[in-house]
Amino acid sequence: MQARGRGGAKPPIGIALDGDFGNRIDAVLALAMMNGFASKMEARRISLSVSRPGLKGAQLADVLSAFYAGRAIAPGGGVGVITEGMVGMPEGGPADEKPPLAAILSKKYEDGTPAYTSTFTQLRDTAENAVLIRNMLQAQNDENANIVLAGPATGVAKLLTLYGAHAHIVAKCKQLVVAVGAYPAGPAESSIKADVAAAKKLFAEWPTALVAVGSEVGAALPYPGASIEADLSWSPNHPIADAYKIYKPMPYDAPAPALAALLYAVHPDDGYFKLSDPGTITVLDDGRTQFAPGANGKHRYLIADPAQTEKITQLYKDMVSAKPVPRAGRGRAGEPDPL
């Protein structure tokens, strides 16, 4: 169970991160950013899950998670893959067998040894992401967890159907922050289109506050590609840097709605973004999202504030480039706690 800190204070906010790590570079960057927040004790990662079914995507998430666990040194100086953390994955739906970012799993050292090796060899090595999120929410203090979604809504929507999950969501989850769609209205976005039915269910039935981060925010606040070479060179084999270079030919700045979503989920009251009035977001049959203002609505969307661009960009670079920080904890001697 989640323990209270000194003097009875709650520990930092817990984040359940569900992302399309095999297809979205901003989701990969968000996992790195999560490490930065955890290393500064500003947030805790309580669960990690991939948004599409497929072994390669789960293996990539496992490698990224292990890298930030910072446990073992692999041959040639890379960070090894010993990990206690479970990775969730949705059941059903078309399998995502060749996610482009999973190509980093093929990287080898000069002697032919794989640079990155996952402990997952079959689908049953993963947990069902809806069950994983529900179970981890149950262990949190009331209103001390947020869910961040940066991918198809398949698994998070299924969370709504699990026995007992509704009560845990209402009690534990302060808000759901989704890096999908375009607001107040815009073109269909790929993560919505990947599972329109799940997105419709999520927006229609989610019982707590929901904040959407659209593609327009990601475009206004991209991750600076120059930081990949300048700030991530501390590791000769850095999976974030390798994924970034695979995603598109360098140099480029990556639109990053997932980073904005995670920043807001961790620091909602720090004035980094403007927030729309309350209303209701509806998902249309073609995958477009539409926002209708309404005083009783549970939905809002983020609005980029140009005055905060420089500050946010520097924070992105600082958090994404943070080194893993092993921590002595409750596990076996010499092993750190999971993030």
Q: How many CA atoms lie within 13 A of 204 on its CB side?
A: 10
Q: Which residue has the tokens 């989640």?
A: 2
pLDDT of residue 327: 52
pLDDT of residue 200: 98
> Where does the pLDDT of residue 333 fall: very low under 50, low under 70, confident under 90, or very high at 90 and above?
very low
The total of other beta-carbon atoms located within 10 Å of residue 155's CB is 29
Structural tokens at position 142? 């009331």
Mean pLDDT for the stretch of residues 220-227? 98
> Where does the pLDDT of residue 69 fall: very low under 50, low under 70, confident under 90, or very high at 90 and above?
confident
pLDDT for 227-246, tens place per residue? 999 999 999 899 999 999 99
The amino acid sitting at 165 is A
Domain ranges of the chain: 13-54+128-320
pLDDT of residue 2: 55
Mean pLDDT for the stretch of residues 120-140? 92
Does the pLDDT of residue 261 top 90, yes or no?
yes
> What is the phi-psi region of residue 185: left when phi exceeds 0, alpha when psi lies from -120 to 50, beta otherwise?
beta
pTM of the model: 0.90
Task: Quote the percentage of the chain above a pLDDT of 90.
Answer: 80
CATH superfamily, region 13-54+128-320: Ribonucleoside hydrolase-like (3.90.245.10)
pLDDT for 148-192, tens place per residue? 999 999 999 999 999 989 999 999 999 999 999 999 999 999 999
15 with 265: CB under 8 angstroms? yes
Structural tokens at position 29? 């960057």
116 with 65: CB under 8 angstroms? no
Mean pLDDT for the stretch of residues 136-158? 96
Does the pLDDT of residue 332 top 90, yes or no?
no
How does the average pLDDT of the chain come out, rounded?
Answer: 89
Mean pLDDT for the stretch of residues 262-270? 98
* Nearest alpha carbon to residue 131 among 101, 160, 167: 160
